Structure 1
Amino acid sequence: MPDNSSSAYAKQPLGKPRVPVVFWLLLTISLSLIMGTVLLSNDMKHLKTVGHYFGYDLFPPEVRPPPKALPRPKPPVTFTLPVHLIEPPAAQTASTFLRTWRISGAAMCAALRDAGIETSDWAAASFNADTFECFFEHSGKRQKDQLPNSIFVIVRGDAAGTINNMRVKIINPETDQNGQLDPGILQIFQIMLRQPQWLDFHETLDAIKNLKDIKEDGFGASISFTREVLNPGNYNFTLSLDATSGPQKRTRNYFSSKIWLPSPDPAAEIGSEQPESVSTPPDPEAPAESREHPH
């Protein structure tokens, strides 16, 4: 081979080295990741800055509807209970549902004294301070062929004046030509039966007048007038109240003033809410009339 050919080949310049395409691809991906990280970091603050620089609002503010107005609170509803729903039941109406004494023990004793039966004052009994009573005792003189006559009357109750029972014992009572009881003694029973105003025991007085045994029970009351078996000249009279049944006990407890708190005076409450110079007209629904005129 000639020498000139080898020298020419030796002097030929070398070409530039080529960069692989994969390198550029990796570089592009790396730069994109770096830029994306920078732009998305710090709550995308840099991305928003770039967008604002070029005049683009990439994240327009969200338009939220205005909050709904809360409903206006309604004024509290006021309701006034009628006084008769919360006040204690009137004692005068108790007789409509329950047998009650319409007279106190002291008043019964006074009624007997007004009729000439000189009972003692209504006071605590000597054997029990919780028991109150008044009594009357009379013994006649013994006749030639007759045993002496005597009368014993007692009314018992409690410190509040409520009567528990009334008793009369007569021994060898005086009678008229028809065998009827002497009017002076009969008036004792008339007062005891008239004052409570229990009109359903209408046969009792007539039986006592004729000295006949009788016993009547009704609506919690018990009345008896009987002759003693071993002593035919002795007669016993008893008038008492005994609430033995469940309904009577529950009704008696309902009308008892011990389980009721005193109700407020409506007139006083109205007066406290208004100035002193303003006069309050009387309440037509006040229960005063109902207490004065019970049905």
Structure 2
Amino acid sequence: MPENSSSANAKQPVGKPKIPVVFWLLLTISLSLVMGTVLLSNDMKHLKTVGHYFGFDLFPPEIKPPPPKALPRPTPPAIFTLPGHIIEPPMVQTASTFLRTWRISGPAMCAALRTAGMETSDWAAASFNADTFECFFEHSGKREKDQLPSSVFVIVRGDAAGTINNMRVKIINPETDQNGQLDPGILRIFETMLRQPQWLDFHETLNAIKNLRDIKEDGFGASITFSREVLNPGRYNFTLSLDATSGPQKRTRNYFSGRIWLPSPDPSSRQPESVSTPTDAGTPAESPQHRY
């Protein structure tokens, strides 16, 4: 029995040793780690080379948006210096060159004529038209021989609000001096009528009236006429009126109408404010007048 068993064992061939599966798994993991390390090293340069070799790009170039434009530097605020004449009360010498208005009311004009020696009537409705208001003055001298008596007729007409429409004067056979110039008492009427509206751009009118010469001046809606009657050499007519007929005149008048603007402050109503200084204590100082 022992001999048979030993001979059986001698006949069996010797097999190859088997490698465990775990070995192959560990080897695969190790090689993967090594290849991954190589491919990912140096900012994945080798991985990009392999992808480029096989014709595909694993990492397309990133499109970066353009850098934002620099904001412009803020512009410093503009500084404007207003000239003094913009905030100061209007000067009488230049007031009529831009907007022609009556700078005096009808009742005030009548009072000015009374101060000049003409006993005008009160500002009241006219007998022929209740919508027309007027004041007038009339004086007639003595008749001399065949000549008409020397006379003066003055009338100022307007509306119930006191706005003047026109002023008229008619003189007949006026008294003159040895130089043929108008009597100062009558000339005072024209001086008052030309001075009170403060239309100082009419320069030649008064001198022409003084010498009894015909004259007509027009300017921005105002018209002044002094003329001798053709058929009656001893009669003279004077007319001062304001009639804005052109488009620019009407638009300017409507734009500066008192219905849409606040009235200018009255300088006489301002209260002076005392300001003490080291050199002159108690000197009144007034704030600048602003026109609204």
In the alignment, what sits opposite 1:174?
A: 175
Deviation of 1:289 after TM superposition, in Å, equals 3.1
In the alignment, what sits opposite 2:289?
A: 289
Deviation of 1:147 after TM superposition, in Å, equals 2.3
In structure 2, what is the Cα distance between the partners aligned to 1:250 and 1:146? 49
In structure 1, what is the Cα distance between the partners aligned to 2:290 and 2:127? 40
- Name the amino acid aligned to 2:196: Q
Gaps of 5+ in 2: 1-88, 264-287
Deviations 1:182-206 (Å, cap 9, x if unpaired)? 1000000000001111111110000
In the alignment, what sits opposite 2:155?
A: 154
Q: By percentage of residues, which structure has more helix?
A: 1
In structure 2, what is the Cα distance between the partners aligned to 1:222 and 1:290? 32
Percent of aligned positions that are identical: 85
In the alignment, what sits opposite 2:225?
A: 224
Correspondence list, 1:143-292, <5 A:
143-258=144-259, 260=260, 289-291=289-291
In structure 2, what is the Cα distance between the partners aligned to 1:162 and 1:261? 18
In the alignment, what sits opposite 1:141?
A: 142
- Name the amino acid aligned to 2:141: G
Deviation of 1:146 after TM superposition, in Å, equals 3.3
In structure 2, what is the Cα distance between the partners aligned to 1:216 and 1:111? 23
* 1:166 partner SS: strand
In the alignment, what sits opposite 1:5?
A: none
Distance 1:95 1:145, change over 3 A: closer
Deviations 1:259-281 (Å, cap 9, x if unpaired)? x3879xxxxxxxxxxxxxxxxxx
Gaps of 5+ in 1: 1-90, 264-287
With normalisation by structure 2, the TM-score equals 0.57
How many corresponding residue pairs?
179
- Name the amino acid aligned to 1:120: S
Deviation of 1:209 after TM superposition, in Å, equals 0.4
In structure 1, what is the Cα distance between the partners aligned to 2:182 and 2:249? 35
* 1:101 partner SS: coil
Deviation of 1:255 after TM superposition, in Å, equals 2.1
Deviation of 1:96 after TM superposition, in Å, equals 5.7
Distance 1:261 1:103, change over 3 A: closer
- Name the amino acid aligned to 1:251: T
Distance 1:177 1:124, change over 3 A: same
Structure 1 runs (4+) greater than 3 angstroms displaced? 91-96
In the alignment, what sits opposite 2:100?
A: 99
In the alignment, what sits opposite 1:18?
A: none
In the alignment, what sits opposite 1:127?
A: 128
Instruction: Indicate the RMSD between aligned Cα atoms, in angstroms.
Output: 2.5
Deviations 1:95-134 (Å, cap 9, x if unpaired)? 4631111111111100000111000001111111211110
Deviations 1:221-276 (Å, cap 9, x if unpaired)? 10000000011100000000110110110111122234x3879xxxxxxxxxxxxx
